[in-house]
Amino acid sequence: MAEYIPVPLFKAAEQFAKLPGIGMKTAHRLAYHVLSLPEETVEEFTSAIFTARKTVRFCEKCQNFTALQEDESPAEQETVICPLCIDEKRNFKIICVVESPRDVSVFERGGGFNGVYHVLHGLLSPMNGISPEDIRIRELMERLSGEVDEVIMATNPTVEGEATATYIGRLVKTIGVKTTRLAYGLPVGAALEFADDVTLTRALENRNEI
Ligand SMILES: [Zn+2]
């Protein structure tokens, strides 16, 4: 027996179902929920999503996500630099290499690091077909042509994290830049985001050359 659903409601459910982890059943529940919201709330919701998609770019230096300034012209919008990469209070000679934007937030929350970051957007994983060209290693190497004293490999202490740290460490060493690895302290096999601030700061202070 076919269930009667108005077409716009069905279409809304279809859109929700495109999101990761949302099955058709949940998508329908969300679509029905939208009907119970005031129109302004729904407008805020859709506009926030659209604005995020439209204005967030990769920082051309650290590759982290950053938002365009509203007053920037389209021409200027092609090259975007995030607030951290233009903050003169930071030490541009030390680059902390992390897997994801979330890791940058973790270090910033800890407050123990004053250098700059480089976000790889992934880890090497031959098993899953992720090779050096698939993550932002080339962009990192391009940054090292300037005055950089040290690269800190701050990938998670997992198999992929270690393999990535070793691979990049060797590459960076060939151009004569010191490479270090976070000391642990950090629980092996766990993600950085679950480390408490003290553990993270200590790991940073006691990093080892690789
Ligand atoms: Zn940046």
Which pLDDT score, from 0 to 100, does residue 182 have?
80
pLDDT for 64-79, tens place per residue?
999 987 666 655 566 7
Residue whose pair of structure tokens reads 């031959």 in the numeric block: 126
Confidence of residue 198 (pLDDT cuts 50, 70, 90): low
How large is the average pLDDT for residues 92-121? 93
Expressed in angstroms and rounded, the spacing between residue 141 Cα and the centre of ligand 1 is 15
- Is there a contact between 179 and 173 (Cβ–Cβ < 8 Å)? yes
Q: Quick one: tokens of 102?
A: 């979330």
Which pLDDT score, from 0 to 100, does residue 202 have?
64
- Is there a contact between 141 and 186 (Cβ–Cβ < 8 Å)? no
Does residue 147 have a pLDDT over 80?
yes
CA dihedral 142, 128, 194, 141 (to 10 degrees): -10
Q: Kindly give the residue spans of alpha helices, DSSP state H, lying in the chain.
A: 7-16, 24-35, 39-55, 101-110, 137-143, 159-173, 197-205
Which pLDDT score, from 0 to 100, does residue 183 have?
72
Expressed in angstroms and rounded, the spacing between residue 35 Cα and the centre of ligand 1 is 40
Which pLDDT score, from 0 to 100, does residue 5 have?
87
Better pLDDT: 159 or 1: 159
Better pLDDT: 191 or 180: 180
Q: What sign for the dihedral angle of Cα 105, 111, 117, 123?
A: negative
In whole angstroms, how far apart are CA 96 and each of 49, 112, 148, 155, 165? 30, 12, 11, 9, 11
Which pLDDT score, from 0 to 100, does residue 88 have?
94
Expressed in angstroms and rounded, the spacing between residue 54 Cα and the centre of ligand 1 is 18
The three-state secondary structure class of 3 is coil
Does residue 1 have a pLDDT over 50?
no
Expressed in angstroms and rounded, the spacing between residue 40 Cα and the centre of ligand 1 is 34
Expressed in angstroms and rounded, the spacing between residue 87 Cα and the centre of ligand 1 is 10
How large is the average pLDDT for residues 14-20? 96
- The percent of residues above 70 in pLDDT, for the chain, comes to 88
Pick from 150, 80, 82: nearest CA to 115: 150
Confidence of residue 205 (pLDDT cuts 50, 70, 90): confident
The three-state secondary structure class of 183 is coil
Expressed in angstroms and rounded, the spacing between residue 85 Cα and the centre of ligand 1 is 4
